[in-house]
Each structure stands twice: as C-alpha cells, then as structure tokens.
A and B are shown apart, each in its own frame.
Chain A
Amino acid sequence: MTARVGVVTFPGSLDEGEAARAVRRAGGEPVALWHAECDLRGADAVILPGGFSYGDYLRCGAIARFSPVMNELAAAVQAGLPVLGICNGFQILCEAHLLPGALTRNAALHFVSRDVRLRIENDGTPWTRAYVAGQEITVPLKSGEGAYVADAGTLEALESGGQVVIRYLDNPNGSALGIAGVRNEAGNVVGLMPHPEYATSELTGPGTDGLGFFSSIVSVLVGA
C-alpha cells in the first residue's frame, strides 16, 4: 500500500509545499487538505505545516485551531491517527490542546532562523522510529515564537513519561528544559518547532537529517 499523508493548508500556511515534497522524498503520497473542509480525504496520517496561519494574529495558532478541519482531526487523533505539527503546526496543536504546553516569544525577542543541533530523545513515536534515541541531527529552525513553556508539573510529567521527543543541544530560543518537540500521552501526536522538511535535500538544506520523520511515518503506514 501507499502511505497517504495529509498536509493541511490554513490561510497563511507557508511550508505545506516542502512538507509534501518531504513526504514524497520518503516514498509516501502527500494528500492536500484544506482548512475549511471537514474532510481528511482518507489520509492515514496528517501533517500540520509551518507558516503564519491567520498571520499569527491574537496568538500563534489560536485562530487556526477553530478551523473546520481541526474538528475532524481531533476526532481522528482519539482514534489513533498519527499527526505531526511542525512550527506553526506545533503551535496549533498546543492551542487545540492536542499537545501539552505552549510556545512563546523567543528569549532574544526576535525571529531566529538558524540550523540547530537536536537530539532525538524518544525513538518510539511513529514520526521518529527511523532514528535511534540519543542520535544527533541538524535541522533548520525558523520562528519568532518558539520558546516552549509549560507549568512545572507538566514538565515533570513530560520528562518522566518519555514525552520529550526532541531536545536542542544549544537552546536557541529559551525553551524550558531545551525542549524542541513533544508527544501526547498516547504517542501518536508529535509537535516540534524545528523544520525537518527543510533538511531532506543536500542541495537546498543543511543535509538530509530530517528525512527520518517522513520515512518513519511511511514505514509505519506501509507496515514495514
């Protein structure tokens, strides 16, 4: 079977094209999803891409979470649908309470676009199983509101429950505990601020370290 991976476009999404290209590079079939439709078009997994949905007005992701497609997504998540939120997609998942915590203004108070070193902390999610826990990768980060925050109890639960999926080696934005990405308790929903889809080609990225996120889901879906 082919792995059908949905990629949602919200008004103001920017990285849906590259997310789809990364799915294709990993051998999957991207399926374009539209924010205003209550339809996941039979996707076996869904990516919420980066960008500035609704201009990031009010709060990043705060408006997009009310999109019709998000109702469908929330129900599918309960049924175990694998979902990956990248950057603005991560922010939307947090606003929708599909992931714990929130993203706030970078410590430096301005946009940071930089190739960052990351450590894979949890290789058991459907989005990270191509990696080995402890593996270090280089992926671009490009965001103004990427500082991960959560209350002390939540952070403790994330650490002890293995929900910290990716961590910065050199915390570039002031994220709590250097957290770059987390998963939900069930493990099917993962969100991260860095952009693995822009690290899937030597020509246009810092390397191909990010491809594992996409090959992971493809291998999960085709049952490899």
Chain B
Amino acid sequence: MTATDSVTHAGATPDQPQPYAELGLTSPEYQRIRQVLGRRPTDAELALYSVMWSEHCSYKSSKVHLRQFAEKAPPSDALLAGIGANAGVVDIGGGYAVTFKIESHNHPSYVEPHQGAATGVGGIVRDILAMGARPVAVMDALRFGPAGAGDTRRVLSGVVSGISWYGNCLGLPNIGGELAFDACYAGNPLVNALCVGVMRHGDLKLATADGPGNKVILLGSRTGPDGIGGASVLASATFGDGGHSAKRPSVQVGDPFLEKLLIECCLELYHDGLVTGIQDLGAAGVACATTELAAAGTGGMRVRLDAVPLRDPSLGPPEILMSESQERMMAVVEPDKVPAFFAVCAKWGVQATVVGEVTGTGRLEMTWHGETVVDIPPGTAADEGPVYSRPLARPGWQDQLAADDPAALPRPSGASGLRAALLALLGSPGLADKTWVTEQYDRYVRGDTVLAMPEDGGLLRIDEETGLGVALATDGNGRYALLDPYAGAQLALCEAYRNVAVTGARPLAVTNCMNFGSPEDPAVMWQFAEAVRGLADGCAVLGVPVTGGNVSFYNQTGEDAIQPTPVIGVLGVHADVRRRLSIGFTGEGARIVLLGRTGPEFGGSAWAHVVHEHIGGQPPRVDFDAERALARVLADAAAAGVASAAHDLSDGGLAVALAESCLRGGRGCRVRLPGDPFTFLFSESAARAIVAVRPGAEAEFAGICAAHAVPAGTIGTVGGHLLEVEDSFTITLAELAGVHGGALPAIFG
C-alpha cells in the first residue's frame, strides 16, 4: 500500500475491508470504533484503537475487579497520587515522597529473554521518571520452569543477563526480589520488574497536556520498527504452535546508555521548571502517550507524525503509532521555554523534536505530510475502551485439590529424616542460595543501599542526616494461590508486609503484579477475581492502600494456565536505617525468640512440594491482626536496639529460616523445639518471625512482645559453627553452605 489512508479517503471508502481481527480487535469492538467516528477508521486510527483497547493497555477484562482497590482503600494520608497515575506516590515524611510500581514483561522475556527482561527494567524505570522522581533502585520477581530443564537455562540466563546489563548500566542498585521455579512457568516465565523513585514534595509531575499552544516534544530514541503490535498482539496472545518465529522481531531492543542520559536530562528539565506535563512511552508508544496526555489535559492535540524522527524511514503512520521503541518520553512545554528545553537536551546528547501542540478543539488530530490521518476524541481511545465482565466459574477440580490433604503424606521420622529434609529443602532451586543470580547485579551503586539480597527486604537510605529510609519487598506464592486464590493473594501481601517489617520499617503502601492465564477461561477469571478481592480486603484490614499495579493475562500455553500468581510489593518507611535489622546471626550469645503461633500447616508448603511433589489441601491461615501486631513488635525492637537480627518465616518454615540466618551471619545456633519437631521445623504458619535478642535485653524485648500480645518463646541461642536442634540433629555451617550455595551453580554453571 502506498497511498496514505487519510480521513478523507476513509470517508470515501466506507466498505474497504480492514484487518481488525489481525490487530486483536473483535468484531463488536471494530463496530464500536466505526460508531464513535461515524465512519470507518483510517489505518492509523485502527492501529491506535487496537493498541489502546488491547488487554494490556485498557485492562478491559480486569477493570471491573480492580475497582475494589480504590473502593475498599483504607484511609491514608500518605497517598499523594494513586491508581491511574503512572505510579503511586507516597509521602514518607521529611518533605520526601516516594513512588514505586511493579510491572510484568513476561511474554517478551520468553521470546527473547535478554532483551525482554532488559526492556522490562527500562519501561518501569521510565514510569517512575515520568512522575518527576529520580529512580533509585530496582527489584525483580522471577519465575521459571523446572531449574533442570534445558529451556529454563536459556530463559533464566538470558533474563538475568538482560536485567544485569540494563539495570547496572543505568546505575540503579538491584536490592531484592524473588526467584522461583515450577513446571507451570516452563512456557510462561514471569519477569516482574519493580522500580522505586524519590522526589521532594512539589516535584510531582502529571501526565497531562494542558494549555493550548503549548508544544508537544518527543525526546530520546528515534522510532523504529520495534515491538510493533507488541501491545495488542504479543503481550496478550496465548503462545500457540509455531507462532514463535513470526513474533520474534516484535520484541523491543534496549539501549540503557540512552536511558541513563534520558534520566539525567529529564531530571534537569524538571529542576529547571521547563516541563508542564510528561509521559513515558511504553506499550503502544506514541499512540498511548498522545491519547493519554490529550485525554487528561485540555483535551486537544495536533501532531505531525512526519515530524517523528525515524530509525527506519519506511515506517508509515500505523507503525509509528504502534512502535514500542524504547527510551522515549513525550513532554508538554510552554513555547517560550522550548529553547531552554532544547539546550538541556543538547547538554545530555538527547534528541528532542517538536512534533505537535496542545489545542482546545477536544480532538486528537494527526497529519502525515499534510493529510489528516487521525481525527478522534482522545478519551474514546484512552479511557472509554471496552469493559468486559467476563464469565467466571470456580473450577470443578478446586474441591478435589482442597481435599488432597498433605496430612496424609509420609513425614520424616527421627533425627536423620528431619536432617535430610532440611538439606533437601536448602538445596532445592527455589530455596537455594541465589548468589549465582544476584552477583550479576550491582547492589552498591548510588551508595545508599543498606540491605539487599539475601535479606528479607531491600532497604535504602533516603536522607543521610536523619537516617530516613524506605524498605521494599515483593512476594508471591503460586502454590498457595492455586489452592485458594483469595487467601493466596492475602498470604503474598502478608509476607511482603512482614518482610518490610522485619527490617524495622513501617509498611505504608502496596503495588501488585497480577500474573494469570487467559481471562477468556472462566476458571482463570475466577482465580483472578478471587485474588483481587482477597488483596483489596487484605489491604483494607492492614491499612495499606494499593497505589498501582499491573495485570498480565494470557500466561498460558495452549489450555494450560500458570498457577495464579499475584506478586505483591510492599513499601515501608524506616525512621532510621542505622537501626535496621538484618537476617544474619552475628551476635554471639543472642537469644533466639520465635514469634507467632505454629500449627500443622503444610498445604502448598515447600516441604510438600520439594519432598513429595505434592500440592493440595489448604494454604496457611491468614491472620491480619497477628501480622499487624508482629510488625509493631519488629518496629519497636529495631527502634529500641534490642535485637541483633530478625528473619521472617515463610517457605520452608523455621528450619530454612534458621539455616539462612546462620549462613548470612556466619554463626551457628542451638535450638530446642517446643513441640513436635517436624511441625515446628517445616510448618509454614503465617505471621511468624525469629528474632535474635541482644544479651541483657531479653526482658525489654519480652515486654515489647507482651505489649502487642504477640506469642514469644525463646527457642535457643546464637553461637558456634553448627546448626543444632537439641535431641535431634546437627549440621555444620560448612555443610549447610555447600548444599545451599552449590545448587544453582551446579545447574547454571
């Protein structure tokens, strides 16, 4: 096709067939576009609507459920911007605000692991930058197929190298995340990237195009054929047979150096007061940025698509609109500030081009060499996309799964059996030492990292004078969510909340990445609805609002969906990072206190999974009051300086937690279990932690526990070079380290 499909041409050729189905639009959706426009869309308009109305951009299947996050949100005076902005913004005191968000890049990371994961980091970093904040750290929650599978090696190695390459080059410390393995992720790895940024109050930037006459400037990379159709086709279509090679060129290619320049350039533009509104270009590229800026602002915008700088001169309007070329931002700038704006861009070597201006017409108009190719009300693409209440149905196998109680599984008997079970867990890929992955990430850069992997939560210093800081953790457990998606989402929330609290921080806000199969499958849709409901209810009770998030559907191969995997990120504020708690046992003679109640809860546990490849029964019971009380004990203990270490109990229970604390601190421990050894070692009851109490501070710590009514029992003492369970078994730290540290290198080299 050579002739431009202009609005005039479209009006004159109403019956011309259009490839809406290939672009992922249904027939009713296409008819609705015709209705909105009163004519058939041009090719460019069709491309624009197809990406804006894709699942990825419009949340059309999830919207009716996600509303609960706002409707059930607990009152919070910490929230400066919430859902709907590029990322939520939280007041942490001292004049500082923090913005954070987690986002998936699952499908591209399977097709092209290195670039897929790298551009996942780049995309979330630009989201944070667009809020007016300086990005200060990243985290990655990763899930892959079985560690031993050949394809896992390809995918994992590529994903890790991509995150390492892009994040390290940006100078953002990688301070934590997750690494899990399960057969359900073999064809659908989960790559969820989180970024956190810091700004002063008043630096908040809005993604709006206000003020007719203001210039619209595209800055950063030239536009190429990257990821064309990615938003609507690649990111939202189930991988079927033989589709891989055809989709291969669709994955975006990153340039972290340019992104680093773009960050410094934008921060200087903000500092100099040269920006009225700004939006990052991510999924759906120019289409998304122009429609969202226009819809949120005065309402009108005129764009010259032929002014967009191209890397590939053969691109036409539809491709330019859909391209997902990385490292681009779109700014709205007052005309008299344009020269100063360009001067800053020149200083940083960032290309900037005026591509349009804000108008008062209420229309988004785009021209291509003088011909109008787009003329739409921008709200119809940005905000008024289709909304579906998809059918949902509790799967028939759910009851059967719940009835398959792990109580029936054979348990290790005697000291040698318990010892072997602990070593089996520690050497399993999901629980093994993750150094092989994390030592490819720079944790030090910027000089404010106080805690990073393998700690429970990452901790950053924000203010050097006062010690004010923020803690972050991400958690998710697909096995729990499979057994009960409502409880599973809440358990993920509780674990992330607890992991933040364990550093001594106070949990403040929540972000989430919902990874699910196809929303067109009623069973998956039920899982999704339950997980959202669970998370919204949990956040209301814990008093931590959801500030934003991301939904990733279609994580399935053929008929097989992944385990429902809500990944929850919690952000907390730390009053003084100099009083942080590490998981490592360092203080010889410290008493080890077990906090919380332990019951025989093995449904979805690491023990059942690793030792018996079993999943069934009920996940651990959720107890929000207990979680909140535990968090208060940990915050008070950190502030009072009575603890030398604290570690959350989760996958693998007390046994794995003790081993991790010993290995982290380089000191052993001797414990006496207050009941059935197997239950106490491997149960995954929630709302629990261990704390190493400084010698002499035992009474003060007991007082803190009593004040919050948290059950606390002294179970042992830190010291020596053995992990010893009295009347049962001992393991040397050297043996623990060999099993724990050797597992991933043995698989991945």
Contact = CB atoms under 8 A, between A and B. Distances in A.
Given A52-B256, A112-B439, A21 B447 contact: yes
Interface stretch (A9-17, A77-85, A129-137, A159-167): A9-17
Contacts of A204: 444, 447-450, 461
Contact of A11 (B255, B349, B449): B349
B447 A12 contact: no
Interface string A111-140: 111100000000000000000000000001
A183 interface: no
Instruction: Identify the interface centre among A21, A112, A114, A142: most chain B CB within 10 Å of its CB.
Output: A142
A14 B445 contact: yes
A192 to B, nearest CB: 15
Interface stretch (B163-171, B422-430, B526-534, B583-591): B163-171
8 contacts: A11-B348, A14-B260, A17-B446, A55-B260, A111-B164, A111-B168, A113-B441, A203-B450
B257 A52 contact: yes
A203 B449 CA distance: 8
B171 A51 contact: yes
B446 A113 contact: no
B260 A52 contact: yes
Contacts of B260: 11-12, 14, 52, 55
Nearest to B255: A55
Given A52-B169, A112-B439, A203-B450, A198 B444 contact: yes
Interface string A55-77: 11100000000000000000000
B220 to A, nearest CB: 14
Given A11-B349, A12-B260, A54-B257, A142 B450 contact: no
B442 interface: yes
Contacts of A144: 164, 168
B445 A57 contact: no
Interface residues of B, number: 30
Nearest to B445: A14
A160 B330 CA distance: 58
Interface in B404-460: 438-450
A205 B447 CA distance: 8
Give the 4 A-B CB pairs with smallest separation, nearest first. A55-B257, A14-B171, A18-B447, A198-B444
B68 to A, nearest CB: 39
Contacts of B449: 204
Interface string A22-64: 0000000000000000000000000000011011110000000
A24 to B, nearest CB: 11
A142 B349 contact: no
A203 B578 contact: yes
B261 A11 contact: yes
B577 interface: yes
Contact of A140 (B348, B440, B444, B448): B444
Contacts of A56: 169, 257
A112 B437 CA distance: 10
Interface of B: 161, 164-165, 168-169, 171, 255-258, 260-261, 348-349, 438-450, 461, 577-578
Contacts of A17: 446-447
A221 B171 CA distance: 31
Contacts of A201: 447
A113 B444 contact: yes
Contacts of B165: 111
Nearest to B449: A204
A113 B450 contact: no
Contacts of B577: 203
A52 B168 contact: yes
Contacts of A114: 439
A57 B447 CA distance: 25
A163 to B, nearest CB: 28
A111 B440 contact: yes
Instruction: Identify the interface centre among A112, A144, A195, A203: most chain B CB within 10 Å of its CB.
Output: A203
Instruction: Identify the interface centre among B171, B256, B438, B449: most chain A CB within 10 Å of its CB.
Output: B171
A110 B440 contact: yes
Given A11-B349, A56-B169, A204-B461, A113 B257 contact: no
Contacts of A55: 169, 255-258, 260
A64 B91 CA distance: 40
Contact of A142 (B256, B445, B461, B578): B445
Contacts of B161: 110
A63 B440 CA distance: 25
Given A11-B348, A110-B161, A110-B164, A205 B171 contact: no
Contacts of B444: 18, 113, 140, 142, 195, 198, 204-205
Nearest to A54: B257
B439 A113 contact: yes
A118 B440 CA distance: 20
A56 B164 CA distance: 14
A21 B446 CA distance: 10
Nearest to B438: A113
Nearest to B260: A12
Contacts of A140: 444
A132 to B, nearest CB: 26
Contacts of A197: 447
Contact of A198 (B169, B438, B441, B447): B447
Contacts of B441: 111, 113
Contacts of A21: 447
A182 B498 CA distance: 47
Contacts of A18: 444-447
Contacts of B450: 203-204
Contact of A57 (B257, B439, B440): B257
Nearest to B259: A55
Given A55-B169, A204-B444, 7 more contacts: A52-B168, A52-B169, A55-B255, A113-B440, A195-B444, A197-B447, A203-B577
Contacts of A113: 438-444
Contacts of B349: 11
Interface in A171-198: 195, 197-198
A142 B165 CA distance: 12
A11 B265 CA distance: 11
A204 B348 CA distance: 30
Given A52-B169, A203-B577, A142 B257 contact: no
Nearest to B160: A110
A146 B206 CA distance: 42
A114 B436 CA distance: 11
A17 B171 CA distance: 11
Contacts of A57: 257
A52 B171 CA distance: 9
Contact of A203 (B168, B440, B461): B461
A110 B749 CA distance: 11
Contacts of A15: 171, 445
Nearest to A114: B439
A51 B260 CA distance: 11
B442 A142 contact: yes
A205 B461 CA distance: 12
Contacts of A14: 171, 260, 445-446
Interface string A89-120: 00000000000000000000011111000000
Contacts of B348: 11
A195 B443 CA distance: 12
A17 B446 CA distance: 7
A111 B442 CA distance: 9
Contacts of B439: 111-114
Contacts of B443: 113
A201 B587 CA distance: 20
Nearest to A140: B444
A110 B445 CA distance: 18
Contacts of A12: 169, 257, 260-261
Nearest to A13: B171
A174 B362 CA distance: 63
Nearest to B350: A11
B268 to A, nearest CB: 12
A91 B256 CA distance: 19
Contacts of A112: 439-440
